[in-house]
Amino acid sequence: MAMLDHIRYTHNDGLSSPSALVDIRQDNPERFECYWNGSGDLGEFRISRTKIRPGFDVWACDCLFRENIHFTLADHPAAFSFSFCMSGKSMARYGRKQTPIEMSSGKQGIFYCPDPNGTSCMSMDVPHRQVGIVISPEGLRSYFEDDLNAIDPVMRGLLEERQEDLFYHLHTITPAMRAALQQLIGCPFGGMTRKLFFESRALELIAHQLHQISADRHQPAPDGHRLHPIDRKCTERARDLLLSNLENPPGLGQLAREAGMSHPKLNRCFREIYGMTVFQYLRSERLNRARQMLGRGLNVTETAYAVGYESISHFSQAFKKQFGASPSRCMGAGSMSHQ
C-alpha cells in the first residue's frame, strides 16, 4: 500500500499538504525568514526556515501530532545536513538505498546525500523539536577555502564529492551543543542582527560536530559508551513519562521505579542519551514549554505557574539563563519566533 503523504516540501513551492489533512499558513516576518504554521485533526506544528546565505539555511520545527506523520522532501539539491533532535522521534529514508535512520531525543547527526530526497515519519503524542542546518557542498567548502587537507579525511572525501550515496554519523547532543541550540532557538534579536546571530550559532554547532566526528575516528568508544538497547528503551520510557507530567512530575525515585532501574543508573543513562541529569532535563523541558506558552500570549505569571514554578523570580532567572532573554521579551512572539 502506498504511503500517505501528509506534508511535503519542495524547493520551489515550500510546504504543502497533498492529503489536505493539514491546514498550512505561511508567514514571512523577515525577508530572509519564513514560517509555516499547520493545524488540523492530525495535530499542530510550526516550522521555520532562516536563509543565512545562498545554499545555507537553518531550519527549526516544533510539532505535536496525534497520528504518525509522513514528511516528504522532493526536488532538493545535494546538501549537508547537521541535525539535532531535542525531543521526539522520527524514522527517515533517504538516498538510493533508502537506508532507515532513526533520530530520537538527544541525538544529533551529520548527513550528506547527493540525492537527499526521501520521506521521514514523525511519531505521535511526543513533542517533536528539531534544528537542522542545511548547507550545500559548495557553501561548506567556502568556509575552508584552500585548507581542505586540514580537516578530517572523512569530511574531506565528502567535500570532494567522492560519496555516491547517503553518508551519516550519529551521536548524542553534548552540553555545549545544547547550550548553543537553546541560544539559537531563543534568539531575541530581529533584522540583520538576528541573521548574524543565527549564522554564528550555526557555525558553532557545525564546529562541534566536525570535532566530534574526528575524535570518534581517532578515539574508539570505551566499553559501556553505548547503552544496552533495553536500558535505552527504559530511559526513553521515563523521559516520556516526564514529558507528560511537566507540571507535576514524579519524583526521581518513582521515575526510576517506572524505568526499572536505580535512580543513579537512570541519571547516568539520561546523561548518556540527553547530555544532562533527570532534573536538568526536566528544567530544560519546562522552560521550552514556557517559551511556547509565552509565544501564544500567556503572561509571565500564568506561564511560570503552569510549568510548575512557584517563584516568578526563579522562573525568570532560569528562563534568561537558558534562552538569553527575559520571559517578557518572548511574550506574543510565537514558538521559535522573535521580537
Range of the domain at 60: 7-218
Which one has a higher pLDDT value, 337 or 134? 134
Sheet holding 118-122, edge to edge: 14-16, 7-10, 69-74, 118-122, 89-94, 99-104
Neighbours of 40 (CB within 10 A): 17
Q: Does residue 144 contact residue 150 with C-beta atoms inside 8 Å?
A: yes
For residue 297, being part of any structural domain is answered with yes
Of 170, 188, 218, the residue that ends a domain is 218
CATH number at residue 203: 2.60.120.10
Residues in the chain: 339
Q: Does residue 138 contact residue 112 with C-beta atoms inside 8 Å?
A: no
The amino acid present at 24, given as its one-letter code, is: I
- Cell matching residue 7: 506534508
Say whether both 275 and 238 belong to one domain. yes
Q: Please, which residues have CB within 8 angstroms of residue 42's CB and are 6 or more apart in sequence? A: 6, 21, 22, 65, 66, 67, 69
Global model pTM greater than 0.85: no
What tens digit of pLDDT does each residue of 116-138 get? 778 888 887 778 889 999 999 89
| Confidence band, pLDDT 50/70/90 cuts, at residue 226 | low
Say whether both 245 and 203 belong to one domain. no
Q: Which residues pair with 53 in a beta bridge?
A: 56
